[in-house]
Structure formats: C-alpha cells, structure tokens
Structure 1
C-alpha cells in the first residue's frame, strides 16, 4: 500500500517536530531546507517552554498541550538514542515573573489569576530572596511558575530530526524550493533545482521565511520577521537559578508596533552561561547586530540582577521570529490551494510550541480528533491572509 508522501519545508524545530510525528504515524516524509538543520531561527533562540507569558486563549492551550508532551517526547527519544536525548538538555526548572512598580504588581497579579489551568505561586520577599539570591530586592510582586521549562534549541531540533530519520524520514539539505507543481488546484510537488519532489502534502514550516515560501507556492500568508537579540555571559554557575523576567516582557511580546521593545529576561543554561534578553523590533531580514539594542537589553537586565554588572559578555547573537499581527500560530490546510498546509507563526514561542503543533498536525492529517480546538489557528483568518500578503 502506498504511503502518503509529505514534504516538510524547513528543518528548524517546528519542521523537525512535524517530521517526527508524521514519520512515526506512517507517512513517507522528506524534509527540505535550503540550509542546514536548525541553522536558522532555531539556533538563535533561548529554548523556552513557557506558560508564564501567555494569557487565556488558544495559544495558552497549545502551550499547555506542549508542556505535557515534552517530557514524553524526551523519554521516547532517550529510548532510541540516549545521547540525542541528553543533547536536548530538557530542564523543568520553572520560571519567575516579577514586577518592580505598584502598577506592574497589580497587572501581574491580575494576569496570573487569568490563566486557567496554570500553576502559579505568589512569592513573599523572603521566599523570592531565598529562591533567587542575586535578584534585586526592589520587587513589588513575584510569581513562581513551576511548569516553565527550557531546552537547548539546536540540540532539541536535531534530536527530533534524528528521531524522524530513524522512523524513515529523509533529509534534503542545501535544497532551495524554487516553485510548485499544481494539478487541478492541488499541489502535487515542489520544484527544486533540477527536479520536482513529488508530494501528496506540503507543510510550510519555514518559520520567519514562511511568508516568502508561501508566496513562492502561490498562496501567500502574512508571516513576517521580527528581530531579537541576546547577550551571553561566560559561565556563572548558580547565579541565576530560574528563568526570571520582568512583567514588561508580556507587553513586549504582545506589542503591535514595529519599534524597538526591550524587557529584562535572564536565565542560565546547563553549562552555566547566562542568557540576557530580550528585544523585539521589525527590521526585515537585516541581521545587523546593533550595539544600542544590546545596551538597552543590558540596562534592563542589570535592574533585575545588579550582580551581572561584573559579568563578562562572551558573545551576542540575534535571530528572526515568525510574526503574525494577531500573535497566534498558523496551523492548517490552506483553503486556496489543496494539499498545502502551514505550521508557522509562533513568533518567539516556537521552541516550546513545536511539539504540540506537530501533534495537532498529525491528528488533522489523519482525521483524528484534535487534542484541542484549532479554529483560532486557521489560515483564512484576516491577520494571515492579509492585504499585504495578497
């Protein structure tokens, strides 16, 4: 019996997660990427798996689904390849969100109370000091989110992709999609230099480049890049114990302006380095590192962790998030072109949401009952099929 052929466009973490789910479900999967696996946005992320930054609605439900699935997926990969699972560096360390003004405290308290099904713990000043000794004492409210976790993003993507390959998927690196093959209003394959890769289903998982890819395929969607930068210190084991961020971060994530927005986001890695973010701005695909952006990030981080004033910065990096105006992922079949599916638009949450997105895609393609409602992620909503994408 012939298996359904699926071409997944993009070998970042969302594409890798989709390839794994579909290959395990019996689909004949090929992953196509113009570069290398995890070589784009995925390798420039912090690896967050968060519920703490998401208000009530579909994205929070997807985050909760992903949060439940991540430990299962890590355990499954560990059974296949313990070294690959170790490279994921899955760390359910929890997160702490703080406010430093009275208005911020009221907003943070209301936000924490609005998140259905999310565990939160209000921390007293003493509890906060015991939990994060290096954190500033000028805090007006603090909430612990014990369910927040972290992974090493490139390691996680490669582990997911490796699992997909073990289940029969194939990988085409250095292969750029240049066109599409269509018959009777349905995609039958994607054109790459010198050939057509035939497919019964094409999944656009190209992250910030999904808008460009969708236009190339003839069904444009309004996914655009939103740039961010991160500072990385030399190893400072034990200085920062959780992911800690100022409540302003939630506002920066939800901001619609293309102007620069910064907020204090500080966390450590397994290796002891401290990641300091974050920024958001719309700059197209300009990958220039701007010193003034790094400076603004550092200033806000020092207000949370004054001890970082003596930290040695080892490097800085930046990347592009796949941005949609309504701040929701895009998941589902494109009504304008049969056999074309999209799995993109997660902005800065793609690492955490990748596992849940892949599970929903597999359920939709197999006709199973989705694990959660997906109506808010549809391709034909106004923010996705926007005028500028037409």
Structure 2
C-alpha cells in the first residue's frame, strides 16, 4: 500500500523517453521513481545515433511533435551539461537524379508550409557544404534545424536533473491494481512499489509491459545496424542521407532495407546507417546488411573507402503499425500512461513526449493535439 515515501509516478524504462518523462514530471513538482531491468540507456537509446530530425518527416502529427521537440532540445542544450554533445549541425538530403530531386523539392515545399526550414542546394554547390561528397549528384536540400545529441549521455543527464530515484537491474513482473482496476504500482523482481501512476516508457518492450496490465499494444522490434569508423578529422560536416531514406522510414516492409545515412561526431568517428528489418529480437550479425551499408556510404562519400570500420552495433526500433508513437492514458487501466512506439525517432521526440505526459499528469493543457497519438487506437482487451 502507498506510504509517505511512495512516489507520485513510476516510469518504467530508463531510456531517453523515460528520462524525459521523469524530467518534465519532476519539473511539475511530482516525485518520480524510474525502473529498468538494465542500465540507463541500455536498450534502443544506447544503440541510437542521436538524431534530432525534421528533415525526414512529412507534414502531420509526427512533424508537429518533432517541431515542439526541436524547441525543447534547444532549451535543454542550455540547461544540461555540454557533455550531451548537442550539435546543431543541420542535415543535408541529397538526390542522385533529377526525378529524386523533384521529389525532394515537392516534399520540402510541403514541409515549409508546416514550419520547417529547408533550403535547396544546387548540384554545383553541394561541395561547399560537404567537400567529400561524390560527384554527379543532382542536388539536395539543407535542413538547418536538424541536430544531434549523444543519446546515452542525454538520458543520463535528464535523469540526474530530474532527481528521480533510480532502480536499475529490476524487471517489472506485474502491474498492481486496486479494486476498480486502477493502477496502484508495480511488482518487480525485488519488491512491490506503489504509486498512483505508471508510465510505460519501455521502448521495444512496451507491448510486454502493456500485456502485464491486460491490454494489447502492438509494439514490434525493427532491427537496425550502425557501422562506426575509426576517429577522423571532420570529413562529414552534416547529417547526410540519400532521398531514399525518407521512403524507408515510412515503409511497412519487414524485409531488409538500407539507405545511406552518414554523419560525423564531435569525438571523431563517422556513424554509418541505416538499415531496417523486422526479425524479432534476433541480434545475429548480418554481414549482408553491413556490406550494403558500407557500399552505399562509400558511394556517397568515396573518401570512406580508405577508412577502417572499427565496430558495429545493432539496435531495435519500437515500431507501431501507423508509425506514430502511443502517448497518453490507457483507456482501460486508469493511472497507466503509455509513452512508447517512437520507432527510430525516439531520441528526437523524447522531450515533447515527456512534456505531454507531464501535462496530462498535472491536468494542464497539452501544447498540441494528442488525438493522433492516443493509445486507444490500438488497445483492446488481451
């Protein structure tokens, strides 16, 4: 039963989304406990590149969430230690031919009407921005609002700034409920913990946590690999990707898809993605995926052909069928809120998600329409 030391809120998941939920809830005066069966940023967050993107989102609810998050990340960059490596370096999307360039032009025009800054770069000016790009590209668009953070550090510093109590290495095995089905807390491998609200920020395991409460949230893992090069001088200045990447992000295919995404980091290594496939939680190294990533990256930046890849890692994006996260109260279990299913955009969308959850918990007006993210578009009795 609740005690004087019971928190107002339990957040399940110590990735960047859970950390943001804790940060903004604590900022509203709520006491928070964060639980994770692993370490801070031990799941999808730790395997992420730290992308904070507007450039890959078409006009609609996700872009509205991303625009809000862009503003919040800019504020967080001033409030959190510089070690989160926030870098407002901008993005550059390039087209290999005239047809893809026209598609980018149409896409950017629609984004501009929604509040995104996008500037066309003709083919003969691409090398002003990225001197090592391959010749023969048809042009591109620069997105100055795109940025990057070091995701594990961002999660850690959000949690530290929140003052939340951390319980790491504890797996949640049950949701405690009262006589009317309302949340009373969680059961872990170590103890029963009581609170009137629980936030499901469990990422790719968000569906499993929902099932503990007797509801169905169809979160699926979508595997991706990242290649990491040896440390280099800054040979890649922006986040650079091919126009095909936008279509891959929006695809529902379970098959392997790769499109070149290349970016430098403040510490030197170049990160190379992106691959997508639905293979469950299989972490088996896919040489097929890695060969394709390497070939596509060196075609975009030939200079990388002479560079060593020193490691690779895999992660799982929390995928929902309509490519929108589930954010908000569960309609069947009072006191349970969901904040998961962000796919590959969780790092970028984390602050807005955390702010929305905090506003819901305190009865304040959300800064945008939350209907498109409502969990009841999926939830049913399990």
User: One fold, TM greater than 0.5?
Assistant: yes
- Residue by residue over 1:20-47, the C-alpha shift from the partner in whole angstroms, topping out at 9 and shown as x without a partner, is 1111211111000001111111110000
Q: Distance in 1 between matches of 2:147 and 2:190?
A: 43
What secondary structure is seen at the aligned counterpart in 2 of 1:380?
Answer: helix
- Alignment partner, residue 167 of structure 2: 172
8 Å contact kept, 1:10–1:31: yes
How much has 1:126 moved relative to structure 2? 2.9
How much has 1:136 moved relative to structure 2? 1.2
- Alpha carbon RMSD of aligned pairs, Å? 1.5
How much has 1:295 moved relative to structure 2? 0.4
Q: 1:280 aligns with which of 276, 281, 303?
A: 276
Q: Distance in 2 between matches of 1:204 and 1:210?
A: 6
How much has 1:194 moved relative to structure 2? 4.5
8 Å contact kept, 1:9–1:15: yes
- Alignment partner, residue 379 of structure 2: 385
Where do 1:191-340 residues align within 5 Å? 191-340=187-336
How much has 1:369 moved relative to structure 2? 1.3
Q: Distance in 2 between matches of 1:151 and 1:300?
A: 24
- Alignment partner, residue 69 of structure 2: 66
Does 2:177 correspond to 1:182?
A: yes
Where do 1:88-237 residues align within 5 Å? 88-115=84-111, 116-165=114-163, 169-183=164-178, 184-237=180-233
Q: Distance in 1 between matches of 2:26 and 2:345?
A: 24
How much has 1:93 moved relative to structure 2? 0.3
How much has 1:193 moved relative to structure 2? 2.4
Q: Distance in 2 between matches of 1:358 and 1:61?
A: 15
- Residue by residue over 1:240-263, the C-alpha shift from the partner in whole angstroms, topping out at 9 and shown as x without a partner, is 000000010011101101000100
- Residue by residue over 1:238-296, the C-alpha shift from the partner in whole angstroms, topping out at 9 and shown as x without a partner, is 21000000010011101101000100000000011100001000011111111111001
How much has 1:368 moved relative to structure 2? 1.2
- Residue by residue over 1:136-169, the C-alpha shift from the partner in whole angstroms, topping out at 9 and shown as x without a partner, is 122113000001000001111111111112xxx2
- Alignment partner, residue 82 of structure 1: none
How much has 1:215 moved relative to structure 2? 0.8
8 Å contact kept, 1:189–1:200: yes
- Alignment partner, residue 31 of structure 2: 28
Q: What is the TM-score normalised by the length of structure 2?
A: 0.96
Q: 1:8 aligns with which of 3, 7, 11?
A: 11
Q: Distance in 1 between matches of 2:189 and 2:231?
A: 44
Runs of at least 4 residues off by over 3 Å: none
Unaligned runs of 5+ in 2: none
Q: Distance in 1 between matches of 2:227 and 2:7?
A: 44
Q: Distance in 1 between matches of 2:190 and 2:141?
A: 56
Q: Distance in 1 between matches of 2:124 and 2:154?
A: 36
8 Å contact kept, 2:318–2:343: yes
8 Å contact kept, 1:109–1:141: no
Q: Distance in 1 between matches of 2:204 and 2:280?
A: 10
Q: Distance in 1 between matches of 2:305 and 2:183?
A: 55
How much has 1:223 moved relative to structure 2? 0.7
